[in-house]
Structure 1
Amino acid sequence: MKLSTSYRSIWNISLPIIIGSAAQNVVAMTDSIFLYYRSEEDFAAIGFVAAFYIIVAAIGFGFSRGGQILIAHYTGRDDSRAVGRAFFSTVYFELVLSFVVFLFMTYGAYWLFALLVDSDVIFYKSLEYLETRKWGVFASYLGVACIALYTGIARPVFIVVDTVILAVTNIFLDRALIFGMYGFPEMGIAGAGLASTIAEFVALVVFLIYMFFDRKNRQYLAGKLPRWDKRLIREIVGLSVPIVAMSIVGLGSAFFFFGIVENFGERDLAVTNIVRIAYLILSIPAWGFCTGVNTLVSYFIGRGERYNVKVVLWKTAYLCLGVSLVMGLPIILFPREVLYPILGDERAYLIEAAYPIFWVLLGILTTFSFGSIFFNGLIGAGQTKKALIYQTFCAGVYMLLVFAVVRSGWGNLTAAWSTEIVYWVLMFGLSWRYFRKPRWRSLRAQHSAAASSVAPASNEEIEQLP
C-alpha cells in the first residue's frame, strides 16, 4: 500500500485505529459506569484497580508496538515474507509474556496492593475484581499481536468491527453479571472482571476467524508456521522493551496519582474516577493518532523518505487537536448535560465536585495532542531508548509535583490534575527539539541523503535482517 503525507491519508489510517485503540478504554469505562450505579465503594475501587490493569494491558500492547514498527518498516520495503515472520515472532513472544504476567497477578498483586492502598474496602474489592479479570490477559496479548499486523500493513479497518463486538459483549455481560440479570448470578465487582474477560476472548476468536478468511493477508501468512526466530524476537524485544518501560513509567505515574489521591479520602478518589471516565473518552483520538503516526513514521523511514516525517507529525498533531476539541468541548463546557444521561442523578454531587477539573482537561487535551504525537514520532523512528529517557524525566517531574500538591497544606484535587499539563509540555519540548535536526527537515533536496540511511541509528540491526 502506498502512503502519503496528506491529511486524507493520515485520517484514513488513524480513524480505524482511533476506534480500535479504544478497546481497553471502553472496557474500563463500561466497568466504571455500571459499578457507579452499584455503590460508591465499588466505583472508587474500580478506579484504582482498573488503572492497574491498564498497565498490565499496556505491557502487552507495548511489546506489540515493536512488532508493529518492524511490520510497517518491512511494508515500506515491500518485503511480505519478512512481514509474516515479524508477525509470528510477535505472537510467540506475547504468548510467553501473557503467562508470566498472569503468574504475577496471581501471586504478586496482593503484596503490591497492600503497599499502595490504605482502605480495606478498596483493597479487598480490588483483589476481588482481579481474580476474574486476570484470565483476560491471554486474549488481550494475542489480540494486540493481531492488531499489530493490520496496523503495520495499514489495513486497520476490521479493528473497528472487532472493537464494537468487544464493547457490545462487555456492556451486556457487565449488566448481567454485576446486577444478576437475565438469569446470571449477581457478582458485583467480580462480575465486572469476568464480563471483561469473556468479552476479550469473544473479540479474539472473531478476529482470528476474520484473519483465516482474509485473502489479502495470505502473502504474509502463507505456508507453514515459522519456527521460533531468536534473532527476530531479539529485534522486537530490543525495540519494545523501552516502549514497555515507557508504558509502565507513564501509566505507573497515573497509578501513583490514584494511589496518592486516596490520601484526600474515598470521596475525592470517586471524584477523580468521574474525571478519569471523561479523560478516557477524550484521550481516545490522541492514542489512535499516536499508533497511526508510529506506522507512518516507520513506513517513510523504510522508504528512505525522512523528509516526510516532520510533515506528517505536524499534520497529525493538528488533526489530533481538532478532533480532541470537537469531542472535548461539549463535556468540558456542559458536563451536567453530557454526563447526567450516562451517570444519572444518584451521585450527582460527584459530577458537581468534578466540575472545576473539567476546565483543567482543556489544557491537558491541548498539550497532550502535540506532546503525544511528537513523542510517538520518536518511537516510530526507532529512537525508543531516547524516548524512554525523556518519559522517565517527565514522569519524575510529574510525580514530584503531584506529591508536593497532595502533601502541601494548600493542595487540592484541581491543582493535582493541573500538574499533567506540565508533563505534556515537557514531553513536547524534548521531542520537538529532537526533530529540529537537519536530517528531519521537510526538503526534497534531502531525499538522496535520506535514502542513503534508510533507518535511524537504533534500527541498524533491523536493516541487516534478510
Structure 2
Amino acid sequence: MLDIRYSSILKMALPMMLSGFIQSVISITDAAFLSRYSTLAYDASGSAGLWYITLYMVFMGLGDGAQIAMAQKVGEKNSKGFVAVFQSNFIILVIAAALLTLLVQLCMPTLMGYMVTNHELAHAEQSFLEIRSYSFWAATITISIQASYLAVGKTSLVLVASLIAAISNIILDYFLIFGIGPFPRLGLEGAAIASTTAEFLAMLFLLSTLIGGRLKNEYPIWKERLISKFQLKENLKIGVPLLFQGMVALSIWTIFFIWIEQMGGDNLTVSLNIRYVYFLAFIPIWGFAAATKTYIAQYFGANQLDKLQLIQGRIQLLTIGFLLLTFHGAILYPEALIRLVSEKPEHIEESAQILRIVSGSILIYGFGSVYFQTISGIGRTRITFLVECLSTALYILSAYLFIKVWKWQLQWVWLVEYVYFITMGLSSLIYLKLSNWTKEEKAQLLKK
C-alpha cells in the first residue's frame, strides 16, 4: 500500500501530470497545425474534439470506477477481487465501444446538422468524428490497463504510453495534414487519422507491458475467469455515475461552445484559443486527482479512515503549488501562451484578456477537486454525480443568462467558470463535513 509522504504522493502524481502535459501538447499541436491549414479545419477540430471527449468520458468514467474498486482491493489485500474488477471492466468497455461507434456513425450526422448553424462546419465536424470513433476500440484495452496501473500506483508506464502517443501524433500530423513527401494532403481528416493511429500505438505498448510485466504475477489476470453478474453490477455501480458525471460536464461545455458559435464573429475561434491553453492548467489538477482517488481508496479499503484528512491536506498543498508553477503565465504573460495555438493578432489580445479573467477559477478548482475526488475514492460516486449535476445546472443557467438573455461580451461570459468550480468545491466540502458517511462506511467495512 502507498505511504503518504509528500515524496510518495509526488512519485505517483508526477507521471500523471507529465502524461496530462503530453496530452495538452497533442491538442496544441493539432491546433497549431490546423490553424495554419484553414480556419474551418481549426474550428471543426476544436468543436468536434469536444464531442469526442464527451463520448470518451464513457471510458474514462468506467475506468475511474475500476481504478477505485481495484485500489480498494489492494488495501484489502484481495488479489482475486482485483482481477475480477479488471476482467469485468474490460467486458463493459467492449460493449461501450460498440454502442458509441454506432452512435457516431448513425446518429451524429442528424444531431450535428441540428446543433451547428454553419452547415460546412457541421459536415467537417462529422467527418472528423467518424474517423476518431475508431479510437474507442483502442480505449477498451488502454483504459483497462491504465486503471489497473493507477490502482497500484504504477504510473510511469502510463507516462511512457502518453509519450508514444504524443510523438507519433505530432509526426503523423505534420505529414498527413500538409501532405509532406508521399503522403496526401488530408487536412482535418489527416489530423483525425494521426490521433487515432497514435492512440492504437499507445494501446499496443500498454498491452505489451501487461503481457510481459510483473503485475500479472501478483494479480493473475489471465489464469482464471472471475467475471460474474455480481462483479459486473459492482463495477457499474461505481463506474456509471462517474460515466454520466463526465459526460454531463463535457456535454454542458459543448453546449456552451455551441452558444458561443451562435454569437457569430470570431467568438468561437477566440474561445477555442482559451480552451486549448486552459487545459494546461488542468495538468496538475488531473494528476493529483488520480493520486487522490487511489490514496483515498487504498486507505479506505484498509480501514485507516483517520488518515484521509491528512491525505487531503497534503494533496491540496501540492496541487496549489504546482498550479502556481505551471500556470502563472495566464496572469503574467497570457499573450505568449495564446501564440502557441494562434498567430492572428486580432485574436491574441482578446484571448489573453479572457485568460487573465478566468485564471483565478483554476485555483478554486485545484483546491476543491480534492474534496470531490475524496468522495469518489470512498466509492460514493452517486454523490459526486449529484454534485456534478448541481454544478453544471448552475453553470448552464448562468451561461444562458449571460449569452442569450443579457447578451454580455465574450470576456464576461467566461465568468461562468467561477460558478461551476465554486459550486463543485463547496458542495463536496459540505457533504464531507455534514453527512454521516464516516459512520455508514465504517459499518459497511465491519460487515466485510
TM-score using structure 1 length:
0.91
Shift of the alpha carbon at 1:344? 5.9
Asked if structure 2 preserves the Cα contact closer than 8 Å seen for 1:102 and 1:135, the reply is yes
1:444 alignment partner in structure 2: none
| Residue in structure 2 matching 1:388, options 385, 388, 393 | 385
| Backbone CA RMSD of aligned residues | 2.1
| Residue in structure 1 matching 2:404, options 407, 424, 429 | 407
Asked if structure 2 preserves the Cα contact closer than 8 Å seen for 1:321 and 1:365, the reply is no
Tell me the SS of whatever aligns to 1:382. coil
2:42 alignment partner in structure 1: 43
Shift of the alpha carbon at 1:93? 1.3
Asked if structure 1 preserves the Cα contact closer than 8 Å seen for 2:34 and 2:188, the reply is yes
Residues 392 and 343 of structure 1, relative CA distance in 2, 3 Å threshold: closer
1:430 alignment partner in structure 2: 427
2:228 alignment partner in structure 1: 229
Shift of the alpha carbon at 1:18? 2.2
Residues 40 and 266 of structure 1, relative CA distance in 2, 3 Å threshold: farther
Q: Which letter maps to 1:45?
A: A
2:266 is equivalent to residue 267 of structure 1: yes
1:191 alignment partner in structure 2: 190
2:51 alignment partner in structure 1: 52
Q: Which letter maps to 2:371?
A: F
Shift of the alpha carbon at 1:118? 0.6
Shift of the alpha carbon at 1:327? 1.0
Q: Distance in 1 between matches of 2:120 and 2:265?
A: 10
Asked if structure 2 preserves the Cα contact closer than 8 Å seen for 1:301 and 1:454, the reply is no
Asked if structure 2 preserves the Cα contact closer than 8 Å seen for 1:304 and 1:453, the reply is no
Shift of the alpha carbon at 1:4? 2.7
Tell me the SS of whatever aligns to 1:435. helix
Residues 33 and 305 of structure 1, relative CA distance in 2, 3 Å threshold: same
Residues 298 and 120 of structure 1, relative CA distance in 2, 3 Å threshold: same
Shift of the alpha carbon at 1:232? 0.6
Shift of the alpha carbon at 1:451? 9.3
Asked if structure 2 preserves the Cα contact closer than 8 Å seen for 1:177 and 1:185, the reply is yes
Shift of the alpha carbon at 1:450? 9.7
1:446 alignment partner in structure 2: none
Asked if structure 2 preserves the Cα contact closer than 8 Å seen for 1:81 and 1:219, the reply is no
2:369 alignment partner in structure 1: 372
Shift of the alpha carbon at 1:256? 1.0
The gaps in structure 2 that reach 5 residues or longer are none
Q: Distance in 1 between matches of 2:61 and 2:265?
A: 32
Q: Which letter maps to 1:30?
A: T
Shift of the alpha carbon at 1:151? 0.2
Q: Name which of structure 1's ranges 82-91 and 270-279 shifts more when overlaid on structure 2.
A: 82-91
2:287 alignment partner in structure 1: 288
Deviations 1:97-144 (A, max 9, x none): 111111111101112212211111210110121121111111123211
Tell me the SS of whatever aligns to 1:283. helix
Residues 424 and 223 of structure 1, relative CA distance in 2, 3 Å threshold: closer
How many residues end up aligned between the 2 structures?
448
Asked if structure 2 preserves the Cα contact closer than 8 Å seen for 1:22 and 1:163, the reply is no
Asked if structure 1 preserves the Cα contact closer than 8 Å seen for 2:31 and 2:341, the reply is no
Deviations 1:294-318 (A, max 9, x none): 1111111101011211221222122
Shift of the alpha carbon at 1:439? 6.8
TM-score using structure 2 length:
0.95
2:278 is equivalent to residue 279 of structure 1: yes
2:31 is equivalent to residue 32 of structure 1: yes
Deviations 1:321-372 (A, max 9, x none): 21112111124321233443x3463x23211121211112321211110222
2:97 is equivalent to residue 98 of structure 1: yes
Q: Distance in 2 between matches of 1:362 and 1:164?
A: 28
Asked if structure 1 preserves the Cα contact closer than 8 Å seen for 2:176 and 2:194, the reply is yes
Asked if structure 1 preserves the Cα contact closer than 8 Å seen for 2:175 and 2:183, the reply is yes
Residues 301 and 344 of structure 1, relative CA distance in 2, 3 Å threshold: closer
Q: Distance in 2 between matches of 1:290 and 1:454?
A: 25
1:118-133 residue pairs with structure 2 within 5 A?
Answer: 118-133=117-132
Same amino acid, percent of matched pairs = 25
1:3 alignment partner in structure 2: 2
Q: Distance in 2 between matches of 1:332 and 1:214?
A: 44
Asked if structure 2 preserves the Cα contact closer than 8 Å seen for 1:56 and 1:101, the reply is yes
2:183 is equivalent to residue 168 of structure 1: no
Asked if structure 2 preserves the Cα contact closer than 8 Å seen for 1:44 and 1:266, the reply is no
Shift of the alpha carbon at 1:33? 2.2
2:86 is equivalent to residue 87 of structure 1: yes
Shift of the alpha carbon at 1:452? 5.0
Q: Distance in 1 between matches of 2:324 and 2:140?
A: 31
Runs of 4+ in 1 over 4 A off after TM superposition: 21-26, 437-441, 449-452
Asked if structure 2 preserves the Cα contact closer than 8 Å seen for 1:133 and 1:196, the reply is yes
2:319 alignment partner in structure 1: 320
Q: Which letter maps to 2:253?
A: A
1:217 alignment partner in structure 2: 216
Q: Distance in 1 between matches of 2:60 and 2:134?
A: 16
Asked if structure 2 preserves the Cα contact closer than 8 Å seen for 1:293 and 1:376, the reply is yes
